């Protein structure tokens, strides 16, 4: 497995792979890899001849009061996991490589689609930061296909949108959310939680499932169900950010005949941010 630390090497390797007629599958990550990330790597392995994983904690997508400085960094363990998965190359750039002139006057992808909605409301810089860094990574790695997790459903929608709108020649494939035995979606931020907190945090998915079964049973008052979700979060000891039931296509409130819905939920537990979601198909 090649460890790539420079832009030139990354570009050179990508060019060589393509010159041999091979396809590149790419999995962008922020490291501290867990089974969720590795499931995407396995999917990537099935989709192309050459798999590249990036490990880069992108400061642009973090707010000033967020956890950029404490975000877990476990490169040696990550490298070991990726070797086990037969990954061909890991691109692990530094901040200086990704933003050589800093971020002050850096071009940013401006997204309006999630402005004032869901995570876009509480983390206004987040999707623009993600879209910008993913665009940069795509320009470096030149993947044929890139794999993202449904765990971050809004992020997946944003990536699909920029690829579509900016006509990027890359196919976006998604993988389902990996969970622990209690249903808690695996996340690097779970490292901040104690054993007891993790059990409590699993209540978020249990609540989403509860609301999903109400919808499946025929309840259609989404405003009331969202309110129920918020109240239940509070009762379970979470500080709610949002609990929204929206169209999977628009991420906006569903029309009456909408059949493809997603429940999006975010909250904090002892100041640790948790997000989760569930897609629902109704008749």
Active site residues: 37
107 phi/psi in degrees, rounded to 5 = -60, 140
**Measured from the CB of residue 227, what is the shortest distance to ligand AMP in angstroms?**
27
CB of 60 to ligand AMP, least distance (A): 13
Judged by beta carbon, residue 7 or residue 30, the one nearer ligand AMP is 30
State which residue, 36 or 229, has the beta carbon closest to ligand AMP. 36
Q: Does 175 bind ligand AMP (CB under 6 A)?
A: yes
Strands lying side by side in the sheet with 89-91: 2-4, 89-91, 50-55, 24-29, 145-149, 171-175
Q: Point out which span in 86-94, 101-109, 147-155, 206-214 binds ligand AMP (CB under 6 A).
A: 147-155
Task: Identify which of residues 36 and 254 has a Cβ nearer to ligand AMP in the complex.
Answer: 36
Give the contact letters, 2-41, x = binds to ligand AMP (CB under 6 A), - = no: ---------------------------xx-----xx-xx-
Min separation Cβ 132 and ligand AMP, Å: 14
Given candidates 158, 186, 233, 275, which one binds ligand AMP under the rule CB under 6 A? 186
Q: Residue 174 or residue 232: which is nearer to ligand AMP going by CB?
A: 174
- Which of 128, 187, 190, 277 binds ligand AMP (CB under 6 A)? It is 187
Size of interface with ligand AMP, in residues (CB under 6 A): 17
Query: Is the CB of 71 or the CB of 243 nearer to ligand AMP?
Result: 71
Told to check if 143 binds ligand AMP by CB under 6 A, we report no
Query: Nearest distance from residue 276's CB to ligand AMP, in Å?
Result: 9
Q: Using CB under 6 A as the criterion, which residues of the chain lie in contact with ligand AMP when the complex forms?
A: 29-30, 36-37, 39-40, 148-149, 151-152, 175, 177-178, 185-188
């Amino acid at each position: 497995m090649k460890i790539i630390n420079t832009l030139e090497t990354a570009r050179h390797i990508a060019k060589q792979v393509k010159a041999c007629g091979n396809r590149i599958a790419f999995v962008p990550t922020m490291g501290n890899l867990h089974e969720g990330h590795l499931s995407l790597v396995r999917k990537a392995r099935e989709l192309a001849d050459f798999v590249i994983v990036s490990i880069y904690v992108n400061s642009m997508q973090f707010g000033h009061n967020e956890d950029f400085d404490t975000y877990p960094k476990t490169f040696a363990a990550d490298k070991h996991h990726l070797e086990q998965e037969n990954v061909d190359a890991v691109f692990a750039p530094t901040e200086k490589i990704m933003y050589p002139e800093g971020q002050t006057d850096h071009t940013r992808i401006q997204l309006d689609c999630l402005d004032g909605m869901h995570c876009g409301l509480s983390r206004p810089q987040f999707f623009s930061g993600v879209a910008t860094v993913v665009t940069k990574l795509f320009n470096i790695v030149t993947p044929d296909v890139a794999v993202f997790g449904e765990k971050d459903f809004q992020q997946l929608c944003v990536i699909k949108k920029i690829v579509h709108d900016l006509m990027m020649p890359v196919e976006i494939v998604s993988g389902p959310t990996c969970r622990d035995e209690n249903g808690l979606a695996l996340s690097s931020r779970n490292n901040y939680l104690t054993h007891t907190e993790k059990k409590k945090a699993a209540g978020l998915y249990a609540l989403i499932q509860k609301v999903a079964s109400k919808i499946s049973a025929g309840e259609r008052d989404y405003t009331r169900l969202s309110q129920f979700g918020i109240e239940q979060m509070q009762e379970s000891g979470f500080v709610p950010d949002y609990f929204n039931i929206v169209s999977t296509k628009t991420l906006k409130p569903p029309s009456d005949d909408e059949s493809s819905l997603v429940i999006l939920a975010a909250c904090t537990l002892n100041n640790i941010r948790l997000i989760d979601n569930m897609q629902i198909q109704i008749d």
